[in-house]
């Protein structure tokens, strides 16, 4: 059965109406309409994203790669945060957060085999041939000075065997180099640089088990497996490269925390300066990964908060036979069509399943007026409204408001009615906590767009924006 996969066009700020995303969106549409017309032999094509975060030419350019294996969420979530939540103020950071995107959203190490064994020889018929060629070209780009490949590895690497989880056969909490040094103009002293990063990272890690080691695989001396890897491809092309391994013994947000510690230490060492939108603490990292991802479908016609969504959402107004385009602030978001509905995936996670109800769309309505807790507000469709107690949609001639889960006998248009949280049935909420509800607008039988109503008396968590250096 052919699957149709819709890839998110992620952007760093905001979710809608960024003109530079239009090209990508239309490319996705083109891809989608081409694929939708092919009934047989359809092969979904997954592409990765490259973020170029450039400040100056004077400091070096580091290439970060996440998700070469799809079941290593520490690496690809860390790279996604680097791509979307960091601002570079000196030097340059290129980030590929989702190299093996198909395997990431299908939660597999490698749907088409291990991609990290495809960098010495590869059959042209390999389904990932084009992707591997593309990332090879990025690695070889003359601007790239250093490559960091982010992995989640088993156990804890130690020079000598200690127990099943700690020993030379394990990979976690290590910085991997293929050899002691390479002949390059800059940064060729791999062992020395790894040692400096190790020292600065270990100084802030408060327990011995989590502290990093440096592991030299001595690939050139006859490690046939390591010769096939991305980092060794870089080395053969005179690009200093490091594998960063965080232990799979940790939870995802803890892995991300360790990866970011390491990457930041590399950047500091190389003179790259940056700011990030959250504190580098485990709880703040968890909050960033779990609670700040938004999904916009069809240019904001459908707008969802990905965190804590219900496993299934019914009556989602979609257009029949019209390609769906999606947008997200995370590059890890994708939608997989299985003929009945749409599975929304965020990295390795299931977000929700959308059961569509088909409508024609109307685009005449961009904003609406709502009285929220007694205060009149003009609100753009495709956004979230924060409500403490009650709201009231100002009637708009020709348009009908529908609060999903609110019912009053004989009432078709729910504008002009004061509505409180207790008037809406909890099971219709978007989120499991039953605080987020859909307010939809229609013109005759056509669907105009929606707002999310967030009934919440709690203040959002205060995560301060931290400047580094």
Judged by beta carbon, residue 72 or residue 431, the one nearer Zn ion is 72
Judged by beta carbon, residue 260 or residue 430, the one nearer Zn ion is 260
97: nearest Cα among 289, 280, 254: 289
Min separation Cβ 65 and Zn ion, Å? 11
Min separation Cβ 75 and Zn ion, Å? 7
- What are 274's two structure tokens? 């940056």
Judged by beta carbon, residue 245 or residue 440, the one nearer Zn ion is 245
Residues 6+ apart with CB under 8 A from 72: 109, 150, 151, 152, 248
Per CB under 5 A, which of residues 401..430 are in contact with Zn ion? none
| Phi, psi for 233 (deg, rounded to 5) | -60, -45
Min separation Cβ 243 and Zn ion, Å? 8
Burial class (CB in 10 A: 0-12, 13-18, 19+), 26: exposed
Min separation Cβ 296 and Zn ion, Å? 31
Judged by beta carbon, residue 67 or residue 449, the one nearer Zn ion is 67
Query: Whole-angstrom distance between the N-terminal and C-terminal Cα of the chain?
Result: 53
- What are 2's two structure tokens? 């052919």
Per CB under 5 A, which of residues 347..406 are in contact with Zn ion? none
Task: Name the one range near Zn ion by CB under 5 A: 148-156, 208-216, 233-241, 348-356.
Answer: 148-156
Judged by beta carbon, residue 21 or residue 95, the one nearer Zn ion is 95
Judged by beta carbon, residue 69 or residue 92, the one nearer Zn ion is 69
Per CB under 5 A, which of residues 71..130 are in contact with Zn ion? 72
Judged by beta carbon, residue 66 or residue 240, the one nearer Zn ion is 66
User: How many H helices and E strands in the chain?
Assistant: 8, 29
Task: Name the one range near Zn ion by CB under 5 A: 53-61, 136-144, 150-158, 358-366.
Answer: 150-158
Min separation Cβ 146 and Zn ion, Å? 19
Min separation Cβ 101 and Zn ion, Å? 15
Judged by beta carbon, residue 246 or residue 297, the one nearer Zn ion is 246
Exactly one of 49, 118, 151, 215 binds Zn ion (CB under 5 A); that residue is 151
Residues 6+ apart with CB under 8 A from 320: 358
Min separation Cβ 72 and Zn ion, Å? 5
Cα angle value 206/210/216 (rounded, 5°): 130
Min separation Cβ 114 and Zn ion, Å? 9
Judged by beta carbon, residue 85 or residue 245, the one nearer Zn ion is 245
Min separation Cβ 154 and Zn ion, Å? 10
Rounded alpha-carbon distances, angstroms, from residue 81 to 96, 253, 331, 467: 11, 11, 9, 15
Instruction: Report the distance separating Cα 185 and Cα 48, nearest Å.
Output: 30
177: nearest Cα among 142, 148, 140: 148
Judged by beta carbon, residue 69 or residue 174, the one nearer Zn ion is 69
Instruction: Report the distance separating Cα 248 and Cα 69, nearest Å.
Output: 13
| Phi, psi for 265 (deg, rounded to 5) | -65, -40
Min separation Cβ 151 and Zn ion, Å? 3
Task: Name the one range near Zn ion by CB under 5 A: 88-96, 127-135, 149-157, 446-454.
Answer: 149-157
Q: How far is CA 81 from the centre of its chain?
A: 7
Per CB under 5 A, which of residues 336..355 are in contact with Zn ion? none
422: nearest Cα among 454, 389, 445, 453: 389
Task: Name the one range near Zn ion by CB under 5 A: 143-151, 198-206, 263-271, 348-356.
Answer: 143-151
- The yes or no reply on residue 292 touching Zn ion (CB under 5 A) is no
Residues 6+ apart with CB under 8 A from 407: 425
What is the rounded (10 degree) CA torsion for 356, 360, 366, 368? -70
Total binding residues toward Zn ion, as defined by CB under 5 A: 3
Per CB under 5 A, which of residues 52..81 are in contact with Zn ion? 69, 72
**Chain residue whose CB lies nearest Zn ion:** 151
Residues near Zn ion (CB under 5 A) are 69, 72, 151
């Amino acid at each position: 059965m052919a699957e149709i996969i819709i890839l998110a066009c992620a952007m760093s700020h905001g979710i809608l109406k960024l003109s530079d995303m239009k090209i990508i969106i239309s490319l996705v549409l083109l891809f989608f309409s081409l694929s939708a017309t092919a009934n047989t032999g359809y092969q979904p094509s997954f592409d990765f994203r490259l973020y170029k975060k450039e400040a100056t030419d004077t400091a070096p350019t580091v290439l970060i790669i996440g998700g070469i294996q799809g079941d290593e969420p520490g690496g690809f979530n860390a790279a996604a945060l680097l791509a979307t939540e960091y601002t570079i103020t000196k030097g340059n950071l290129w980030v590929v957060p989702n190299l093996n995107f198909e395997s990431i959203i299908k939660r597999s190490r490698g749907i088409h085999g291990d991609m990290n064994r495809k960098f010495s020889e590869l059959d042209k018929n390999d389904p990932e041939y084009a992707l591997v060629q593309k990332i090879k070209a990025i690695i070889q780009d003359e601007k790239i000075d250093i490559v960091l490949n982010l992995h989640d590895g088993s156990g804890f690497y130690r020079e000598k065997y200690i127990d099943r989880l700690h020993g030379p056969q394990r990979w976690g909490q290590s910085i991997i180099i293929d050899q002691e040094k390479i002949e390059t103009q800059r940064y060729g002293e791999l062992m020395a640089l790894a040692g400096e990063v190790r020292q600065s990272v270990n100084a802030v890690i408060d327990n011995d088990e989590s502290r990093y080691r440096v592991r030299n695989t001595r690939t050139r001396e006859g490690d046939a497996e390591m010769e096939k890897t991305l980092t060794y491809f870089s080395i053969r092309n005179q690009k200093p490269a490091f594998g960063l391994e965080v232990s799979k013994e940790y939870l995802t947000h803890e892995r991300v925390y360790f990866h970011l510690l390491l990457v930041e230490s590399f950047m500091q060492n190389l003179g790259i300066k940056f700011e990030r939108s959250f504190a580098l603490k485990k709880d703040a990292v968890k909050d960033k990964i779990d609670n700040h991802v938004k999904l916009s479908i069809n240019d904001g016609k459908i707008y969802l908060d990905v965190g804590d969504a219900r496993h299934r959402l019914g009556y989602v107004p979609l257009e029949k036979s019209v390609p769906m385009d999606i947008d997200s602030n995370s590059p890890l978001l994708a939608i997989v069509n299985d003929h009945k509905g749409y599975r929304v995936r965020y990295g390795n996670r299931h977000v929700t399943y959308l059961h569509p109800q088909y409508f024609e769309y109307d685009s005449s309505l961009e904003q609406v007026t709502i009285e929220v807790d007694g205060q009149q507000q003009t609100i753009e469709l495709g956004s979230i409204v924060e409500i403490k107690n009650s709201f009231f949609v100002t009637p708009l001639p020709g348009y009908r408001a529908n609060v999903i889960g609110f019912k009053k006998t004989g009432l078709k248009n729910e504008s002009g009615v004061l509505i409180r949280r207790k008037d809406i049935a909890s099971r219709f909420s978007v989120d499991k906590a039953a605080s987020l509800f859909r307010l939809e607008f229609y013109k005759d039988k056509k669907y105009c767009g929606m707002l999310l109503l967030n009934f919440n008396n709690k203040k959002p968590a205060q995560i301060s924006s931290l400047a580094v250096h």
